[in-house]
Structure 1
Amino acid sequence: MSLPSSIDVAIIGAGAAGLGAAHALKDSGLSFIVLEARDRVGGRGTTVQAAPDVIFDVGCGWLHSADKNSFVKIAGQLNFDVDKALPPWRERAYGKAFPQGERDDFIRALDAFYMRAEAAAASGRDSPADRYLEPGNRWNPMIDAISTYVNGCELDQVSILDMDAYEDTNINWRVRCGYGALMTAYGAALPLALNCQVTLIDHSGQRLRIESSQGTLSAGKAVITVPTSLIAQQALRFHPALPAKVEAAAGLPLGLADKVMLALDDPGDLPSDGNLRGATMRTEMGTYHLRPFGQPCIEGFFGGRFAQTLEDEGDGAIAAHSIDEIAGFLGNDFRRKLKPLQESRWAHDPFARGSYSHALPGHADKRAVLAAPVNNRLFFAGEATSPNFFSTAHGARDSGERAAKEVLASDAKR
C-alpha cells in the first residue's frame, strides 16, 4: 500500500514483533501501518520452496517452548499443521561418526557445564560462560560448538546471567509447511508498506517525523522492532540521539547461525528426522538434520565465528563445507548423492546483519533498557527485548504485543 502522510502509530519492521504489535492494535481505533524494508513480512523468519519436494525454513524453524509459544495457537487458528515429533538433537545421533558411548559421555559433560553455569548465575554476578567449562575436558570444543547453534556465538561472548534467564521448557515442535509461511499468513491482512526502509525517526517536534525510502511520514507514536544491529550501527537513527538505546543494543549483538539445505538423491539411505554429527574435538563443525519431515534432503547448521568465516568466503561455501564434512562421516561415495539447494547468509543480510541476540558478559540488564519506552512516544520490541524468550520468534511476537499495550496505555493517560 502507499504511504499515508499521517498516522497514529507507525510500526517499524514486519518481523514477528511488528506483526504482533499490529495485531494488538487492530481493534484499538488507532490508525497504524507497518513499515518494512524487505519485500516480504517475517523478518528473520522466511520459508522457501528449495526444490519441488523440499521446503526450507531459511530462518527460524522451531516452535521452541511450544507449550508456552504463542505461535502454536496462531497456527491452529490459521489451520497450519504442527508437527510434535521429537527434535533431532541431544541423544538422537546417527551412524558411527559419533558412537553411543561417546555421545553419552558428551551429554554428561554438556549437562555438567550447564549446572556449573546455573550455580554461578545464582550468585547474581555476571561473567563469561566459558569460565564454567571444566579445564581440559575433551568435550569443551564441542560444548562451544553447541553454543554457536544456541546463542549464535562462542561461550566467551555469552553472559551467564542472560543464559540463565532464558526459559526453555524442552518442548520443541515444528510447522509442517514452514514457520516463515505461518508468519506470512499471520501478516496477510495487515496494513503494510513493503520496500520501505526507515532511516530516521525525528522525535524533536510535537509529532514524530519518520524518514523512509518511500518518503516522510508523520506519526503520533512509533513501535520500533528492528534488530539490535541496526540500532547499534545506527542504520536507523534517532533525532535527538538516544545513546542509551545505542549502548544497550551494542551490548545485545546478534550472533550468527546459518543453515544450508542439500538435496539427497537416495533418501532411503538415511533415517527420517535423524541427526548427524561427528565426535570432533573442534568448535568449527556443522550439525546435520537428516531428512526433516521425511523430505529427500539434509539440513545443516553452522554458528558463531565459523559461520562468519564460511559466509565471508562467499555464496556456496557453507554448502561445499557441508558436503565435505558429511562425506567424511558417511564415506566419500556419498558425495555424489548430495546437491546444494540453498543456504542462508544472515550476517550479509543488510536488514538483519546477524541471526539472534545474546547479551555480552556484563550486559544482561540491557534487555530491559532496550525495551523501555521513550517519552511515551517511542516504544521498543523485538526478540532482544524479551526477558526470557529472547532469540525466538514467539519472544519477538509477544514483545510486539507488549509494546502495543504500552502504546494503548500511554494513549489512555492523555
Structure 2
Amino acid sequence: MNDSEPDIAIIGAGAAGIAAARQLSANNLSVVMLEALQRPGGRSWTHQSPVGPMDLGCGWLHSGGRNPWTRLAEQAGYEINRGPSAWGRQFRNLGFAKADQSEAWSAFDRWSKRLAIIPPASDRASEATEPDSPWTAYLQALSGYISGDELERISARDYAAYHEASTEDNWRLPAGYGTLIAASLPTDVQLHLNMPLQALSLDQQRVVLETQHGVLRPRAVIISVSTNVLAGETIRWPSALDPWRQAASDLPLGNNEKLFLEIIGPSPFEPETHVVGDPHDPATGSYYIRPFGRSVIECFLGGAGARNAAAEGSDAAFARAIDELTGLFGHSVRSQLRPLIASDWTRTASIGGGYSHALPGQAEARLILGQPLEDRIFFAGEATHRTDFSTAHGAFQSGVRAAQEALAALGNPAAAY
C-alpha cells in the first residue's frame, strides 16, 4: 500500500463508502478505501450480460424525487426511467383473481395503517395483522420483499418510520443502479479491492487496521460494513465497539436474493409486466417480466424464499422459479426459460444478507449505530439511517454524514455537498 498512515480509511466500497469518499475527496486529505470484494459497489452490483445490464442488488431509485443518486445520475448523463412500475398488478390475473388482488392489497393497507396509528405495544409487526385473515401469508411474502424477514421479527416502529418517509417515486436506470454507484467513486481515492479487514484496534494516536497485505494506521476510520459483518466474527473488533456490535445485532440483515431467467424465442411474456408466483405462499417469488423490454425475467426472493435459495443453492431456486412461472403461464414456457445468473448475498462473507431491519423493540439501535467512537471511528451504511434504511440513498446520506463528522473531528470544515 502506498500510504500506510492516511488521514482517513474507509472500510467498505459500497454506496455509503463511496458517498463518504466523495465528501472527503475535496478536502485535501489522504483517503484509503479497503474493499473485501473484487469490485466496488457492495450490495449494488450490475452484471453485464448479453441480454443487458442486470442489477443483482439494489435496482430501483426509491423515493426518486429526493434520492441523491438521481441527481448524480442526471449530472453524469445516465438515462432515468421515470415510468410507473408493474408492481401490484398481476398480469392477466393469472393465479390471482382481480377480486382477490383487491382484498389482498386492502389487507396490506389496513395493516400498514394500524402500524402507523395504533402500533402494537410489543412493537411486533405481526400483531397488527387481522386474526384468521386469508391474506396473512401474502403479508408475510411482502414482508420478505420489503424487510427480508417475517413479520414476527420486524419492529412496527421501524417499519412505520420508513413507510412514512418514502414516496411513490420508484425509478430505474437502464444502465444499472450498480453501474452508477461504482462509477461515482472519486478517482483520487486510493482503492484496494480484494482486501478484507482482518482486525481493528486503537492506540493512543491512531486506529490500527490489519490486512493480509500489511497494517494501516489512519487518523480516523469510517466503517461502512454491513450489520451482519459488524456483529459477526470475520473481523476482530476491540471491546470498545461492543455497544455498536450489539446495536448491529439488533439490526440484522434480512434475506433477499435475485434470480434472472433468460427468455428464449417467442413466448407469452409481455414487456413491463409482473406476477406473484403464489399469493398464498410466504416463500413465493415476485417476477418482473421483461424490464425495459429485455428478454429476461427478474425474480425477487425475500424472507423464507431467499433463505431456501441460500440453503438449497441456485439450481434449486431456478427450478422453483420455473415451476411457479410454468404453473401460471402453462407447460410450454418451461422450454423458453433458461437460468442466467443469481445473487448469493446471504453466503457472501463480506456482506451476509440483504438489508437491515430492526427487531421488535430495537428501532433506537439505529441511533446507537450511527454514533462515533472517540472522534476516531465513524459509522455509515443504510442501517444507520433512521428512515431511509434498506436503500442505497439512505446509505449515501449516511456516508455524507459520517464524512462530515470525520472532517470536523480532524479539524477540517465539512464542505457542503
Q: TM-score range by the shorter chain?
A: over 0.9
Structure 1 stretches of 5 or more lacking a match? none
Contact 2:260 2:299 (8 Å CA) reproduced: yes
User: What's 1:157 paired with?
Assistant: 153
CA–CA separation in structure 2 for the residues paired with 1:381 and 1:158? 22
Contact 1:261 1:297 (8 Å CA) reproduced: yes
The 5 A counterparts of 1:125-140 are 125-140=121-136
User: What's 2:237 paired with?
Assistant: 238
CA–CA separation in structure 2 for the residues paired with 1:284 and 1:303? 7
Q: Secondary structure at the match of 1:176?
A: coil
Equivalent position amino acid for 2:182 in 1: T
Equivalent position amino acid for 1:133 in 2: T
User: What's 1:345 paired with?
Assistant: 344
User: What's 2:411 paired with?
Assistant: 412
TM-score, normalised by the number of residues in structure 2: 0.95
State the shift of 1:193 in Å: 1.0
The 5 A counterparts of 1:352-371 are 352-371=351-370
The 5 A counterparts of 1:10-89 are 10-50=9-49, 52-89=50-87
State the shift of 1:126 in Å: 5.0
User: Any idea what the Cα deviations from partners look like across 1:106-145, whole Å, max 9, x if unmatched?
Assistant: 1111101111111124x8x551100011011111101110
Task: Tell me whether 1:382 sits opposite 2:378 in the alignment.
Answer: no
State the shift of 1:188 in Å: 5.6
The 5 A counterparts of 1:216-227 are 216-227=215-226
CA–CA separation in structure 2 for the residues paired with 1:154 and 1:93? 26
CA–CA separation in structure 2 for the residues paired with 1:226 and 1:251? 15
In structure 2, the CA distance between the partners of 1:257 and 1:326, relative to structure 1 (3 Å rule), is same
Task: Tell me whether 1:174 sits opposite 2:172 in the alignment.
Answer: yes
In structure 2, the CA distance between the partners of 1:11 and 1:126, relative to structure 1 (3 Å rule), is farther
Contact 2:21 2:186 (8 Å CA) reproduced: no
State the shift of 1:278 in Å: 4.1
State the shift of 1:315 in Å: 3.1
User: What's 1:111 paired with?
Assistant: 109
User: How many residues of Structure 1 are paired with residues of Structure 2 in the alignment?
Assistant: 410
In structure 2, the CA distance between the partners of 1:273 and 1:220, relative to structure 1 (3 Å rule), is same
TM-score, normalised by the number of residues in structure 1: 0.96
CA–CA separation in structure 2 for the residues paired with 1:116 and 1:188? 44
User: What's 2:330 paired with?
Assistant: 331
Of stretches 277-286 and 215-224 in structure 1, the one that deviates more from structure 2 is 277-286
State the shift of 1:237 in Å: 2.6
Q: Which runs of 4+ in 1 moved over 6 A?
A: none
Equivalent position amino acid for 1:9 in 2: I
In structure 2, the CA distance between the partners of 1:90 and 1:280, relative to structure 1 (3 Å rule), is closer
Contact 2:282 2:304 (8 Å CA) reproduced: no
CA–CA separation in structure 2 for the residues paired with 1:315 and 1:261? 11
CA–CA separation in structure 2 for the residues paired with 1:179 and 1:310? 23
In structure 2, the CA distance between the partners of 1:413 and 1:20, relative to structure 1 (3 Å rule), is closer
Q: Identity percentage over the alignment?
A: 37
Contact 1:203 1:240 (8 Å CA) reproduced: no
Task: Tell me whether 1:142 sits opposite 2:138 in the alignment.
Answer: yes
State the shift of 1:279 in Å: 5.0
Q: Secondary structure at the match of 1:41?
A: coil
User: Any idea what the Cα deviations from partners look like across 1:53-83, whole Å, max 9, x if unmatched?
Assistant: 2321011100000011000001111111111
CA–CA separation in structure 2 for the residues paired with 1:96 and 1:304? 23
Contact 2:226 2:381 (8 Å CA) reproduced: yes
Equivalent position amino acid for 1:138 in 2: P
Equivalent position amino acid for 1:276 in 2: V
State the shift of 1:287 in Å: 1.0
Contact 1:263 1:339 (8 Å CA) reproduced: yes
Of stretches 321-330 and 187-196 in structure 1, the one that deviates more from structure 2 is 187-196
User: What's 2:207 paired with?
Assistant: 208
Q: Secondary structure at the match of 1:174?
A: coil
CA–CA separation in structure 2 for the residues paired with 1:32 and 1:402? 16
User: Any idea what the Cα deviations from partners look like across 1:258-307, whole Å, max 9, x if unmatched?
Assistant: 11000112355222111111453221211100101100111111111231
Contact 1:199 1:235 (8 Å CA) reproduced: yes
Equivalent position amino acid for 1:318 in 2: A
Q: Secondary structure at the match of 1:347?
A: coil
State the shift of 1:160 in Å: 0.4
In structure 2, the CA distance between the partners of 1:126 and 1:4, relative to structure 1 (3 Å rule), is farther
Contact 2:221 2:378 (8 Å CA) reproduced: yes
User: What's 2:400 paired with?
Assistant: 401
Contact 1:78 1:185 (8 Å CA) reproduced: no
State the shift of 1:349 in Å: 0.6
